[in-house]
Structure 1
């Protein structure tokens, strides 16, 4: 923290004190304050939390995924224009009028973070951003090709019956729907969480630090800009949860799945506490604690795609023996998307991903490197083990530990 910020924080601390029942002796800050049991924050008896934009984008991605499934199961060809319109939210493509009128879209939040894709801070390039967005649009075309009536086979895009549903596969065996869903979880949601809204370059931009210290709220709103930025990071994980109906979507759902394994059973509690503690710290102008929680969230959420990538690589490997079609390729397509997500993680203290773009691209290309991609079943198992070991070693767990997560 620079001297100007330290001075402002000290001024604020001299006039702002919150009693606390949750003091942490390891916290270098001398200030104490309450950390709520749930993510509930108020100002003047009204909520100061708003992540409606994140809720909208989560629901948009869900509807895009559902479109592949419903069209495939009904035997109706996919229309790439529909998916492109959903991606950019043009032409009222969604079933919900609220989504159509939200002013939000997924495309402009794909590979668009402050730390990785803003030229002021480096990390990514405009060319990479264009390439990533074009890649997802290619998955729309792949869905069209797979929905035309052919049965999926080596080198042939088509359909494959999976229970009562029909799954659609590209000629290389990848499932466009799963590549889109898991890939977008990384390129949009993960990238925005750790590389934009939890970035000090965003949190402290402009007058944000001074305004938050002096509790100057945004015009017509009940939150400071810094509070709102933090809430938006939270919303990309939990923004569409419906706990009463046991409904959790995307990152929240996969955090739960990883947390269900005894080797990773503190992940959800760690992330949840860090979000609540960091938000409380922002209210209390305790920026040291805020930054400590940022590091915790970045570390813990990065574990989730790493564990799920290894799990699905090993699950797909096992299913190649018992079912060398839909179920195996479905799992491997999920692994492909989670590997993509690793490029958008942010290792604390580095402002770089746990795996570079080059490393991620190499793993993805290796996965589908045969003449017929995933259909080269006799040669794929060693690749799956090698990639699994590479990911597990980088994160400090074993392939066996990740492979047991349900």
Structure 2
């Protein structure tokens, strides 16, 4: 009995010692995060997002060229294609021509957006008033817009759609890659590239109204512009910019938990920005103030189509279900003449409800 007790006592002592040892080892293995500062501007040492900035500039120049069609200029298909592929020295900024970068290579589903571009080129050659089934121009305020046979302003579908299929999609992929990148330097590189696709100044201030005389990168563009235009009521600008700052600082401090938390914030709020823009543009055509104004209605629906296309590239776990995304696509790809003439705007009201309810968006009407 005495011997058995001794053996039991020894066993218990060893077990306790083992647990104590494991606990100490676990504490030792956990890296202690030293305090670190989060700056107010994106001026991190070694930060480089030149490639993102180049593609933003290329997209802006393509957008400007596409809009010349609204002034009655028939677009040159070769030039438009060269701008998309960066061939033939098509850019007025020589540095863009020699950058070795282009829009097409980083665009997900490039044939979809090249298709919209080709449609615009064809539409621009029709010098007549558009009607249901026929391309042409429609008066919008004191200007015109060029639309296709179903009322789509294809230039808007290109720009807004590629904001999703290129800039949003690439940013999300780059942020996700930081979780598996082997070195801090590589994490920082990919984080910087993702930030560049937001297209805001490194000292971005969401409370500032940037002068129209400024040009990118001195003022926000593309998604950066929409932080103010369609993101103010959800405070998207401050939330996303702050998350980029905090996440970049966390990488340098090896604070993985904080880094990953910022990735989730950026994913969710950037997607919500796209949804809020789409929501605005499916509400606008149904407002009494826009009744009978085809130019304003079709312009809004075309932007809405582009932003809905952007939602295809949302991250896993999105608040928008696949079934509701398919419904949104189907609605925005309905003939625009049909959509605006439908009694009670049934389909557009359905799209409004999907977007508003999925993302808990502030009501607009």
Structure 2 length normalisation: TM-score? 0.82
Q: CA deviation at 1:366?
A: 2.2
1:379 aligns with 2:351: no
> Residue 133 of structure 1 aligns with which residue?
110
Contact 2:56 2:199 in 1 (8 A): no
Q: CA deviation at 1:238?
A: 2.7
Match among 248, 268, 282 for residue 251 of structure 2? 282
Contact 1:151 1:158 in 2 (8 A): yes
Larger radius of gyration: 2
> Residue 332 of structure 2 aligns with which residue?
367
- Assess, with a 3 A threshold, how the Cα gap between structure 1 residues 136 and 357 changes in structure 2: closer, same or farther: farther
Contact 1:343 1:355 in 2 (8 A): no
- Provide the C-alpha distance between the structure 2 equivalents of 1:30 and 1:305, rounded to a whole number of angstroms: 35
Match among 68, 71, 81 for residue 69 of structure 2? 71
Matches within 5 A, 1:5-44: 30-42=33-45
Q: CA deviation at 1:260?
A: 2.7
Deviation readout 1:259-286 (Å, 9 max, x if unpaired): 432xx23x22211111111100111111
Matches within 5 A, 1:201-350: 202-205=177-180, 208-209=181-182, 211-212=183-184, 224-239=185-200, 245=211, 247-261=219-233, 264-265=234-235, 267-318=236-287, 321-346=290-315
Q: Is the partner of 1:391 in helix, strand or coil?
A: helix
- Assess, with a 3 A threshold, how the Cα gap between structure 1 residues 304 and 256 changes in structure 2: closer, same or farther: same
Q: Is the partner of 2:304 in helix, strand or coil?
A: helix
Q: CA deviation at 1:252?
A: 1.1
Q: What stretches of structure 2 of length at least 5 have no aligned partner? A: 1-24, 205-209
Contact 2:160 2:303 in 1 (8 A): yes
Deviation readout 1:4-32 (Å, 9 max, x if unpaired): xxx9xx8895xxxxxxxxxxxxxxx7431
Deviation readout 1:352-387 (Å, 9 max, x if unpaired): 544466643432222333xxx111232171111101
Contact 2:161 2:309 in 1 (8 A): yes
Contact 2:305 2:333 in 1 (8 A): no
- Provide the C-alpha distance between the structure 2 equivalents of 1:179 and 1:228, rounded to a whole number of angstroms: 31
RMSD, matched Cα: 2.4
- Assess, with a 3 A threshold, how the Cα gap between structure 1 residues 321 and 259 changes in structure 2: closer, same or farther: closer
Q: Is the partner of 1:403 in helix, strand or coil?
A: coil
Q: CA deviation at 1:322?
A: 2.9
Q: CA deviation at 1:239?
A: 5.0
Q: CA deviation at 1:258?
A: 3.4
> Residue 18 of structure 1 aligns with which residue?
none
Q: Is the partner of 2:342 in helix, strand or coil?
A: helix
- Provide the C-alpha distance between the structure 1 equivalents of 2:326 and 2:61, rounded to a whole number of angstroms: 28
> Residue 19 of structure 2 aligns with which residue?
none
- Provide the C-alpha distance between the structure 2 equivalents of 1:191 and 1:254, rounded to a whole number of angstroms: 16
Matches within 5 A, 1:110-125: 110-111=107-108
- Assess, with a 3 A threshold, how the Cα gap between structure 1 residues 136 and 329 changes in structure 2: closer, same or farther: same
- Provide the C-alpha distance between the structure 2 equivalents of 1:242 and 1:157, rounded to a whole number of angstroms: 43
Contact 1:145 1:158 in 2 (8 A): no
Q: CA deviation at 1:402?
A: 4.5
Deviation readout 1:269-328 (Å, 9 max, x if unpaired): 211111111100111111111111111111111110111111110112226853331111
